[in-house]
Each structure stands twice: as structure tokens, then as C-alpha cells.
A and B are shown apart, each in its own frame.
Chain A
Amino acid sequence: MDYVFLKSYYEKEIKLTNDLLNQISQYNIIALFSSIQFVPHMENIMEQLQAKYPDKKFITSKPSRTNAKFQILGCNVYEKNFEFNGTVPECYLYIGDGVFHPQAIVLSQKESEKLTPVVRFNPRNDSIKIFTEDDIVVILRKYRAGLLKFLNAENIGIYITTKVGQQQYEFSKKIKEIYPKKNFYFFASETLDIAGLEDFPFIDTWINTACPRISLEDNAEFNLKMINIDDAMRVKEIISKDCILTRI
């Protein structure tokens, strides 16, 4: 069976508004990103920005797992996913609609000392949204609680999806070497059945390996006490940091 991806590119012309240009005027180094639908417009957008602000620096990268320059994925929620060759952006400018992708940039900064603002420009209605710590405070407080709960948990469930693009079974088994005194139990399904987790009352807390956003937004909404596999492997390092996640 073949898998085919059609990108559904945005077809209309994008012209940056004066409101947006004024909004970003206070920053000197601005990192640009978009979802795949808007990627073909991004070189032109960079030209518009550079023409308006020739003295400012506009940068981008190709975050982990992406296939195109400027593109961002919903799973880019770790700082290491972004590489700017030593340049530190003062602001992120996201071009596109929706909240899922720009919020990934915000969440990627959870282990930073302070948040670099994320500005979203939606070309469909020329609206601007500025993401701040307020957008992620509940998510991160509940995530931090999950990290702390994991430290003292004895019996831990590791959730694995059978979806081919998200399956991380072999990788997740490495956690047994890091915590030899904890008991790990592996659970699989295609889609996470949130209510179904309660059918296993012997599990103290859960590790997610399917999509990192489950442990962030869904965890906050449904109180799952679920953390991501990468973070479970380095909980002590994370909670000892002075960062947004431990301070918020």
C-alpha cells in the first residue's frame, strides 16, 4: 500500500500588514516559521520583511524531522529541534492559521529561562496573535506535576501506539536501564483511549511515546498524569533547572 502526501498549499497572495510590521519593529533578530501549507510563500515574506527593515536580521531553520526550510511540525516542542547556528532570535514570527504549530514554538521553550515571544500572523484574515507564558501556564503546571509524580512512582505504564509513524516501542524500552528499580508495563492501541487508562489501577503514572502533544495539551485537559518518554529519561535534570517549566 502506498502513502501519498498532498500538501494543500495556500493559494492566495500574502501581503504583510502594517500592524504586523509595527508589531515586530521592536525586535532585531526574528526567526520565521510556518506550516507546510504556507512554505512556498516564505521566501517572498522574508523579502517583504527585509525590504521594510533592511537593518534587521531575519532567520529560519529546518527543525528536526521536517522536510522543508521554514516548516515546523507539531512535535517540535523541544529547544534542540531548532538550530540557528549560534544566533539567538528575539522573536519568532509564525505565518499561518491555527494555534497548534505556533504553540509548539512556545512549548519548545519550556526549559529556557525566559520566553522569546511568538507572533502569529494569519494571512486568511490578517489577524495577529502574540503567544505568552499565559498560553501555556496550565499545560506546564500540570506537566511539572506529572514529572514529580513519575519520580516517586513505582509502577509505570508506557503507552505505545500501533500507528506506524508514531511507534516508539524499541526506543521506549531503554528507560528500563535508567530506572532499574521501577516496574514498567507496556500498553498498545491505535488511538489513546483516555478513559481506558483507568482500567489499569495498578499503574501509578504514565509515559507517552505516541505524540508529545498528548502529554502537554491533552494531559492538561484530561489530567492524565502522563509525561513524554524523552523527559521521563531525564526527569531529575529537568526539575533541577531554573526555567519556565519549574518556575511557572
Chain B
Amino acid sequence: MEYDLELDKLLDMIKNKDYKKIVVQLPDGLKPRAKEIVDYISKNSSCEIIIWGGTCFGACDLPAGIDNLGVDACIQWGHEIFKRTEGWN
């Protein structure tokens, strides 16, 4: 594959932080690889995984309301933390 999903890093994080339930959020280009992610994590841990079906245009585009699902973490691929500003100009 051309893009590194960092699944070993994620698995370590799940174990170290004791995540029981996570949301997997992928940009459109990586959505076809959701199965690969879920299968790998499910095979190597007991963490529950929910795939976010909405948009993922950037680190700013975090799903609102997923805390209602009782998840421990939202894992977003393909983006990097950003610095918020007032407006964009």
C-alpha cells in the first residue's frame, strides 16, 4: 500500500491507554481501507470499533456527538493537528 496506516502504533495506543471503544474516521481516499483497520484491530485486541460514516475533510472536521456513543477515542487518519485561528484570513 502507498500510505502507512500506522496500525502497530494504533494497537500499542489502544493497549497502553486501555481504549475499550474507538471511532475510526477516514478521509474519502482511505475509506476503502476501513475493513483492513477494523480487521487488524479486532484480531489483535478486544477494542470495539465504530466506523464514522460522515465527512473527514481535515483535522478541523471532527465528528460532533460521538461522545454519546461512549467512545474513548476518535482516531482520524490522513491529517495532522492544527492551530485554530479566528476566521481564516
A226 at interface (Cβ–Cβ under 8 A)? Answer: no
* Interface pair A6/B75, CB less than 8 Å apart: yes
* Interface pair A78/B88, CB less than 8 Å apart: yes
Q: Majority SS of interface residues in chain A?
A: loop
Residues of A close to B4: CB separation below 8 A? 8-11
The residue from B73, B75, B78, B85 contacting A65, defined by CB atoms under 8 A apart: B85
* Interface pair A4/B74, CB less than 8 Å apart: yes
B86 at interface (Cβ–Cβ under 8 A)? Answer: yes
In the complex the two chains form, what is the Cα distance from A67 to B79 in whole Å? Answer: 10
A102 at interface (Cβ–Cβ under 8 A)? Answer: no
Q: Which of B1-22 contact A (CB under 8 A)?
A: 1-6, 9-10, 13, 17, 19
Residues of B close to A73: CB separation below 8 A? 58, 82
* Interface pair A6/B6, CB less than 8 Å apart: yes
The residue from A9, A66, A233 contacting B3, defined by CB atoms under 8 A apart: A9
The residue from B60, B61, B73 contacting A4, defined by CB atoms under 8 A apart: B73
* Interface pair A6/B62, CB less than 8 Å apart: no
A157 at interface (Cβ–Cβ under 8 A)? Answer: no
In the complex the two chains form, what is the Cα distance from A161 to B54 in whole Å? Answer: 14
* Interface pair B80/A68, CB less than 8 Å apart: yes
| Minimal Cβ-Cβ distance residue in B for A111 | B89
Q: Among A47-55, A162-170, A179-187, A239-247, which stretch is in contact with chain B?
A: A162-170
* Interface pair A8/B6, CB less than 8 Å apart: yes
A85 at interface (Cβ–Cβ under 8 A)? Answer: no
In the complex the two chains form, what is the Cα distance from A171 to B88 in whole Å? Answer: 11
A26 at interface (Cβ–Cβ under 8 A)? Answer: no
Residues of B close to A191: CB separation below 8 A? 54-55
In the complex the two chains form, what is the Cα distance from A1 to B75 in whole Å? Answer: 11
Residues of B close to A81: CB separation below 8 A? 88-89
* Interface pair B85/A7, CB less than 8 Å apart: no
In the complex the two chains form, what is the Cα distance from A168 to B60 in whole Å? Answer: 12
* Interface pair B3/A75, CB less than 8 Å apart: no
B38 at interface (Cβ–Cβ under 8 A)? Answer: no
Task: With both chains docked as a complex, state the minimum distance between the C-beta of A177 and any C-beta of chain B, in angstroms.
Answer: 14
Footprint of B on A, CB under 8 Å? Answer: 1-12, 36-37, 64-68, 71, 73-78, 80-81, 97-98, 124, 161-166, 168, 171, 190-191, 211-213, 228-231, 233
For this complex, 30 residue pairs linking A to B, each with C-beta atoms less than 8 Å apart, are A2-B17, A2-B19, A2-B73, A3-B62, A4-B13, A4-B74, A5-B80, A6-B6, A7-B78, A8-B5, A8-B6, A10-B3, A11-B1, A36-B79, A64-B83, A64-B85, A65-B84, A66-B83, A68-B80, A73-B58, A81-B88, A97-B29, A124-B2, A168-B86, A171-B86, A171-B87, A191-B54, A211-B58, A228-B88, A230-B89
